[in-house]
Structure 1
Amino acid sequence: MLQRTSCVDTINIKIVSFSSTVQIGDSCIINGLSRALAVQRESEVFYGNEGDLSSYQVYSEPIPFLPINESFTYSRQNPNPLIKVGRIDITGISSASLLHVGSSNHVSMEARIKHIRQLYPSPRNGRNEGEQGQR
């Protein structure tokens, strides 16, 4: 792991939610995972069978990680092993996000959100707007 010291005078965060992390100090492994189901309806109706995340393919599909085959060379000089920041202001950290002050070996973050919109048929063409896709 890198041998550098991170120094932050002030951190101001308003909200941290949904599998997010604030990590101060060095770490070896950070894994963040968030899964959400967002249903929007024009009428407030609950059918009782919503919320089964295993019925949606978006939560079980493997994420393709393509190999990086580009060669590169670099030169690094760290004459001062100190990273110094005066102030960090953050409005919100959400959905498997991370604020990390320090060094880390491995970081893996994943957020999967399924949005469902169930709207009344449009008077223009009789079709549900959710069936039309994006406008």
Structure 2
Amino acid sequence: MNITPFGRQSLVHDIKLRTLAFSSTFQIGDSCKIKAVSNVLAIQRERELFFDDEGKFEDYPIFSEPIPLAPITTPVNVNTLNANGTIKVGSIDIIGVSSASILHVGNTDDVYLENRTHHIRQLSDAE
């Protein structure tokens, strides 16, 4: 067991996590920063047809456009009393954590999560 800079411990009795994928985080305990970014280009076709020069992220503006983050202008007052100093979790059962997501038991100071997904469906002409 490790006492963190936040001064608390995280105890998990039982966890079952089947899938953790694509820039996701599984964290027990405190962290200062978590940054997860996942870019997905999904091309679906009715027939199996592949081209060598397709699938470049730079061809799609969704992957390079800045994401507007609204400034936090409302003051936040927080009073915290950690009488015990321990985060206790009995049991967690998760099917999957994917695409820049977090399963986290503990404190985090700074979190940035970003997922950009572009789906393309190319269907054959109806005859």
Classify the TM-score, shorter chain.
0.7 to 0.9
After TM superposition, list the pairs within 5 Å mapping 1:1-135 onto structure 2. 2-122=6-126
**Identity across matched positions, percent:** 48
Deviates more, 1:96-105 or 1:54-63: 96-105
- Which structure 2 segments of 5+ residues have no match? none
Q: Distance in 2 between matches of 1:74 and 1:105?
A: 14
Q: Distance in 2 between matches of 1:73 and 1:22?
A: 29
Q: TM-score, with normalisation over the residues of structure 1?
A: 0.81
Q: TM-score, with normalisation over the residues of structure 2?
A: 0.86
Q: Distance in 1 between matches of 2:43 and 2:37?
A: 20
Give the number of equivalent residue pairs: 123
TM superposition shift of 1:86 = 0.3
- Which structure 1 segments of 5+ residues have no match? 124-135
TM superposition shift of 1:18 = 0.9
Secondary structure in structure 2 of the residue aligned to 1:70: coil
Q: Distance in 1 between matches of 2:75 and 2:103?
A: 30
TM superposition shift of 1:3 = 2.4
Q: Distance in 1 between matches of 2:23 and 2:104?
A: 14
Q: Distance in 1 between matches of 2:106 and 2:34?
A: 12
